[in-house]
Every structure is written in C-alpha cells, then in structure tokens.
C-alpha cells in the first residue's frame, strides 16, 4: 500500500496535468451535482452548508458556492486558526478574501464563528486529495477537517458529509492507509456525480 504522502504526490501530479478547460468543466459539473445533493439532504428546503474554496489544483468550488447561494442556502466557509482549528464565516458573492495567516490560501473576511455552528449545517462539503471506496480520505495533511469531524462525532451532531474530488481521485478499496484519528466519509462528489460508498465505516 502506498503511503499517504505518495498518494498526495501522485494526485497532485494528475491534477496539474488538467487543462483550464477540464478544470472549468469540472467546476460546473460539481456545482450541478452538488446542488442536487443539497436539495436531496434538505428535501428542497433552504438550509445552511459548510463548504470551502478550492484553490490551486483542487477541484474548483466557486460555481458550487454560487449555485447554493442562488438556491437560497446559507454558505459557511472555513478560516484556519491556531492548533489546527477552524472557525467559520458566512459567505455571499460580495465577500472579501484575505491571505490566511496559517495556510497558503485566501480566506473570507467577516464575523468568525466557532465550529459548533457546523453542527447545525445541513451538510458539509469537504476538501480531499483522494478518497478510497472504504471511505478513507486524504486531505492536504493539515488535519483541520479530521479534528472538525472528531469534534462533531463526539457531540453526536455530525451532519451529512461529502468529500469533493476529481473522478480519478476516487481510488479502489484498501488504497489509503487509515489511522486512528482519520474520519471516514460515506459520500463523494465528483464531476460525474455523487458516489455512495457502501463499504465505508460508520462514524465512530
């Protein structure tokens, strides 16, 4: 089995080879399928979703943010804090972004809410470098989302969670080494659609 870092390296190379046209098409497809998933988990009612902004070679999520906003949903975006914690800011199309103090990303400006607000979300769209069909997920290595999910699982208030990847980032079962702090996901959003991972473990 490849190490997590080997998998990250492989997936980053794959993503860097994508053309601007492929990336743009992926963003539009993710918005369509992500909006459908949101409608499913809310039964068509307006709700709140925790999302993120895909940067660099990540799957682009700005079209998804726009689609959720257009559908009447509230959108929360993460802000990196010390000790690998996240706070959250409500996003609208007029939101201003500034460079993060803790990660190589731009983050929204606004009132920062602690992660307890995410427990009230209808769903969480999570970044991922890769996911295998057992639900094991690899992020960028910061551990922010594993900590978030760990806290939500401990509270018994974890909303439906879906990881966002390109089609080829969904790997066969057994591809990703799972560690004690990892939190599996049961659904994956790809440009081809939503994949339900029947073999994924239930949250601890």
List pLDDT tens digits, range 81-117.
988 889 999 999 999 999 888 877 889 999 999 999 9
pLDDT band at 182 (very low <50, low <70, confident <90, very high): confident
- Give the structural domain span for 167: 4-191
Please report whether residue 118 resides in a domain.
Answer: yes
Determine the pLDDT at residue 38. Answer: 97
| Strand partners of residue 26 | none
Please report whether residue 203 resides in a domain.
Answer: no
Please report whether residue 155 resides in a domain.
Answer: yes
Please report whether residue 72 resides in a domain.
Answer: yes
Please report whether residue 202 resides in a domain.
Answer: no
124 vs 51: CA distance, rounded Å: 6
- Mean pLDDT value of segment 162-188: 89
| Strand partners of residue 193 | 190
Please report whether residue 60 resides in a domain.
Answer: yes
The structural domain count of the chain equals 1
pLDDT in tens, 113-167: 999 999 999 999 999 999 999 999 998 767 888 889 888 888 888 899 999 999 9
**Helices within 43-94 (DSSP H only):** 62-70
> Cβ–Cβ contacts within 10 Å for residue 106, how many?
13
Determine the pLDDT at residue 25. Answer: 96
Could you identify the residue written with the tokens 């909006």? 35
Residues with Cβ within 8 Å of residue 21, at least 6 apart in sequence: none
Highest mean pLDDT pick, 12-16, 145-149, 190-194:
190-194
Please report whether residue 200 resides in a domain.
Answer: no
Residue 179's domain is classified under what CATH number? 3.40.50.10420
pTM, full prediction: 0.92
Please report whether residue 96 resides in a domain.
Answer: yes
């Amino acid at each position: 089995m490849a190490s997590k870092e080997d998998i990250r390296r492989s997936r980053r190379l794959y993503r860097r080879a994508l053309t601007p046209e492929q990336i743009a098409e992926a963003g539009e497809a993710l918005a369509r399928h992500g909006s459908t998933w949101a409608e499913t988990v809310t039964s068509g009612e307006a709700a709140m979703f925790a999302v993120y902004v895909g940067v660099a070679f990540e799957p682009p999520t700005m079209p998804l943010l726009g689609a959720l906003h257009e559908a009447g949903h509230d959108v929360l975006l993460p802000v990196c804090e010390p000790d690998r914690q996240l706070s959250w800011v409500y996003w609208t199309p007029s939101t201003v972004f500034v460079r993060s103090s803790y990660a190589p990303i731009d983050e929204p400006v606004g009132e920062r809410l602690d992660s307890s607000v995410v427990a009230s979300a209808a769903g969480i769209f999570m970044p991922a470098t890769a996911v295998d069909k057992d639900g094991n997920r690899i992020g960028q290595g910061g551990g922010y989302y594993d900590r978030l999910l760990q806290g939500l699982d401990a509270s018994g208030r974890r909303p439906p969670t879906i990881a966002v990847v390109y089609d080829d980032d969904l790997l066969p079962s057994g591809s990703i080494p799972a560690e004690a702090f990892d939190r599996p996901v049961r659904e994956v959003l790809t440009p081809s659609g939503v994949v339900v991972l029947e073999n994924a473990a239930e949250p601890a």
